[in-house]
A and B are shown apart, each in its own frame.
Chain A
Amino acid sequence: MSETKIIDARNTFCPGPLMELIQHMKKANVGDTLELLSTDQGTATDVPEWINKVGHEMISTEKIGEDWHIKVRKIK
């Protein structure tokens, strides 16, 4: 069964949320769901841009309070 991994990159600037996601995506298994938490507004557009270019799957983008919750799935 695929697992959902939570990546808490809230209140971080370097390396930053997208870099944290890329790092964890490398190690994830195909089919895994990753959920990135970020307080950076830009993450909501940065992540889909990378996901679409590299060929993984965007599941959802949701703002809960101050936090962005961005779910993606590793496809390849």
Chain B
Amino acid sequence: MRILVVGGGTGGTIVANSLARRLSSEIREGKAKVTMLSASHRHMYQPGLLYVAFGQMMPDELYRDQASLLESSIVFEVDPVEEFMLDRNQVRTAKGKIHEYDIVVIATGSRIVPEEVPGLAEGAETFYTEEGAIKMFKSLRNFAAGRVGIVVGVPHKCPIAPVEVTFSLHDYFRSRGIRDQVHIKYHYPINRIHSIENVAKWARPEFDRMGVEYETLFNVSEVDVEHKVVKSEEGTEYEYDLLISIPAHRGMEAIEKNELGPDGWIPTDRHKLTMEGYDNVYVLGDTTNLPVSKTGSAAHFEADVVAENIASIVKIGAPVTEYDGKVYCFIEAGHDRATYAMFNYLNPPDLKPASKPMHWFKMSYNKLYWASVRGLL
């Protein structure tokens, strides 16, 4: 059984490692093989980008060598897929190699597309790339007073990031003693300040307490870079001195070019995690079209399900479990406190009060992540 994992991010790495462990005897006996194709020899811990943007982490701390995170039985190649030939059970890579598979797992993630909004790439800082996070830190460091706007595109990965960056901005300017000279305004696309109702209910009084202004039903239509004005589809606008954006995302270009799904979001069964129309194509992480949070935790729980099912298909010829929509997200709340949101398709998130121990747990997880992607947690 030839299993191909396309994508070396959180989901791809967890599924590959889990499969390598579950199928260790089959692999040793030559009855199974796990191959991973990735665009990079490095693995990035993406939640760390927010810390880089505030000077709390150095960029090199974001990365580990991908090969060092993988079970030794996994065949790993830095050679991204350029063409998917799903009807032939084949992919073609950038180096021109054809890989045949029996089962493929597509875990290619997502990318920001600020260029979708006129002026956004030029006018706004973003911490969603290494380069952007470093640039944002330098802009923050040079910022002495004025109006800071936060705007959010749809869809985006890490749904809690808008709230977290707002808390971080408040704390950062306070620590520099200039918070009273900075006007912070948060803008959000729907009619409350966060998509999760309980997060919105919890965060709103916090925003009031911090003196953060907010406007809901604000979907960015354009940024007038010359005059420093961000405008919404809904007809309102905000004059800024510093604009921070969480841009809209799409799936990776290869997914779009191969027309696997509109905007690179692959049609995926929400329980089986198979691509619509293909029993031997699994999809997990950001690149699914599921109405589920695009987060590392969702990718992790999806990877657990996919690994268990592929292993059971190898061993007994049938899948044994389903994805229940589980997501678990830390929420940094400022002042060294944190809480979390845990939910699935049937159970809504129920937030506990923010606490210091949960913040310490999140700090620990920034290091434990490397054990998590090895499939050890």
C-alpha spacing A13/B326, complex, angstroms: 11
Q: Interface 1/0s, chain B 163-201, versus A by CB < 8 A?
A: 000000000000000000000000001110001110000
- Residue from the set A13, A27, A46, A50 with the largest chain B CB neighbour count within 10 Å: A13
B131 within 8 A of A: no
CB distance from A10 to the nearest CB of B (A): 9
Q: Are A23 and B196 in contact (CB under 8 A)?
A: no
A-B interface pairs (CB < 8 A), number? 69
Q: Is the interface of A mostly helix, strand, loop or mixed?
A: helix
- With A13-B349, A14-B196, A15-B195 as known contacts, state yes or no: A54 contacts B291, CB within 8 Å: no
CB pair A14–B217 under 8 Å, yes or no, is no
* Given the contacts A27-B262, A42-B197, A50 and B191 also touching, CB distance less than 8 Å: yes
Cβ–Cβ contact A50 & B291, under 8 A: no
- Which residues does chain A contribute within 8 Å of B343, judged by CB atoms? 13-14
Residues on B with C-beta less than 8 A from A42 are 197
Query: Once the chains bind, are A19 and B345 in contact (CB under 8 Å)?
Result: no
Q: Would A8 and B291 be within 8 Å (CB), given that A27-B262, A53-B234 are in contact? A: yes
Across the interface, which residues of B come within 8 angstroms of A49, CB to CB? Answer: 191, 217
CB-CB under 8 A for A22 and B349, given A12-B325, A15-B159, A50-B217? no
In the complex, whether B118 has a CB less than 8 A from a CB of chain A is no
Q: Could you tell me which A residues sit within 8 Å of B by CB distance?
A: 7-9, 11-20, 22-23, 26-27, 42, 46, 49-50, 53-54
Which residue in A12, A22, A26, A53 is a CB contact (below 8 Å) of B291? A12
Indicate if the CB atoms of A16 and B195 lie closer than 8 Å.
yes
The minimal Cβ–Cβ distance linking A72 to chain B, given in whole angstroms, is 14
B193-235 vs A, Cβ < 8 Å mask (1 yes, 0 no): 0011100000000000000000001010000000000000111
The 9 closest A-B pairs by CB, nearest first: A12-B291, A11-B345, A16-B195, A14-B293, A15-B195, A18-B190, A9-B291, A23-B154, A53-B234
Q: A22-B189, A22-B219, A54-B233 are in contact. List 10 more A-B contacts (CB 8 A).
A: A13-B349, A14-B293, A14-B341, A14-B343, A16-B291, A18-B191, A19-B155, A49-B191, A53-B235, A54-B217
- Across the interface, which residues of B come within 8 angstroms of A23, CB to CB? 154-155
A22 to B188, CA, bound (A): 12
Determine how close the nearest CB of chain A comes to the CB of B288; give it in whole angstroms: 12
Contacts of A53 in B (CB 8 A): 217, 234-235
B159, A14: Cβ atoms closer than 8 Å:
yes
- Docked pose: A13 CA to B341 CA in angstroms: 11
29 residue pairs from A and B, CB less than 8 Å apart: A8-B291, A11-B325, A11-B346, A12-B291, A13-B348, A14-B195, A14-B292, A14-B327, A14-B343, A15-B155, A15-B159, A15-B195, A16-B196, A16-B291, A18-B190, A18-B191, A19-B155, A19-B189, A19-B190, A20-B291, A22-B219, A27-B262, A27-B263, A49-B191, A49-B217, A50-B191, A53-B217, A53-B234, A54-B217
Separation in Å of the B180 CB from the closest CB of chain A?
33
The answer on a CB contact under 8 Å between A12 and B345 is yes
* Distance A27 CA – B155 CA, assembled complex (angstroms): 12
Nearest opposing residue in chain A for B291, CB measure: A12
Interface centre among B154, B263, B343 (most CB of A within 10 A): B154
